[in-house]
Amino acid sequence: MITLGSSAVLAQDMDNKAVEDALKTVKKTDTTSQKQGWYTGGFGNLNFGQTTLSNWAAGGESTITALGLVELFAHFRQAKLIWNNNLKLNYGLIKTADNPVEKNDDQFDLTTKAGLPAFKDWYYSLYINFLSQLSPTFEADEASGASRMVSGFLNPGYLIGALGMDFLPSGHFSVFLSPLTAKYTFVLDTLLADAGMYGVEGAVFQEGSKISSGKKIRSELGAFISLDYQRDILENVNFSTSLDLFESYTSPEIAIDVNWETLIAMKINKYLTASIFGHLIYDQDIDITIDENKDGITDRLAPRTQFKEVLGIGLSHKF
């Protein structure tokens, strides 16, 4: 009995030790699992603006605006692999006086980046970005008065694929460098492609007849740099900025395409937020109409720095 009892106690002690070891293993696995696998989330923001004028001597028009912003992310880490996916959707509408509702903002931006460790905070990375719009944009043709499409989904669309090095010193800041980057510009609408919009090769006309149609895809090879920074700079105040620079090796002119976005989001309470958004673009291949008289020429077309600023107060939800 004594022997059996001692064996039982010893067995119980071994079982207890096995359970403790198992619990330690589970805890260790749980801790590791928090750093590995999928991590998903995002936020949505809906801003409103309204101006009403009645017998206003200084002039102006009554307006109603609505702007929606959704950002989603899905990040994956397993062993040495890091895979980050980000989707950004912007869409805005404006109603001015008796004019119909028009679109004043539209963006579809999808980025995926996968990396394997190289040394210290550097990773060998593959970067892919697709940028376009969700719906078409129309404007009135001054000559005929009819509406014509000036942009839309894949009109233009931009696809960037790059191989390079990613510097990740912290969770707040990253720098991606690529000396080997392919950039594709899509203009699938025949009229826009024939007009040579957004840098594609336009149609060839002779005596009013079209000899060859415009190219709907333009490819470039160049160097690419992408910088991202995001951090809470004050309590309930988040600052984020991203800067993309591309220089084409195949372009006859030396010019750097710039795409720079900055967002300052301020949390008022659980649901209300205030935000300031700025977007700067310079693309050598996008011509902007310049209404000025120079050397007897009006309405010239030339590349210009594009800038958009949005200040809004609205509803926000983080998930």
Q: What digits encode the pLDDT tens for the residues 163-214?
A: 999 999 988 999 999 999 999 999 999 999 999 999 899 999 888 888 999 9
Which residues, other chains included, contact 188 with Cβ-Cβ below 8 Å and sequence gap of 6+?
154, 155, 157, 216
How buried is 167 (Cβ within 10 angstroms: 0-12 exposed, 13-18 middle, 19+ buried)? middle
- Using CA atoms, how far apart are residues 200 and 219, in angstroms rounded to an integer? 9
pLDDT of 91 > 70? The answer is: yes
Percent of the chain with pLDDT over 70: 84
Residue 57 is predicted with a pLDDT of 72
Residue 5 is predicted with a pLDDT of 35
Residue 280 is predicted with a pLDDT of 94
Residue 80 is predicted with a pLDDT of 87
**Average model confidence (pLDDT) for the chain?**
83
pLDDT of 11 > 70? The answer is: no
Strand 217-234, strand 204-206: pairing: unpaired
Which one, of 185, 143, 175, 179, lies nearest residue 163 by Cα?
A: 179
- The angle subtended at Cα 117 by Cα 110 and Cα 242, nearest 5°, is 35
Interval 29-75: pLDDT, tens: 333 334 689 999 998 889 888 887 777 776 778 888 899 989 999 99
| Partners of 219 in the β-ladder | 184
Q: How confident is the model at residue 19 (pLDDT cuts 50, 70, 90)?
A: very low
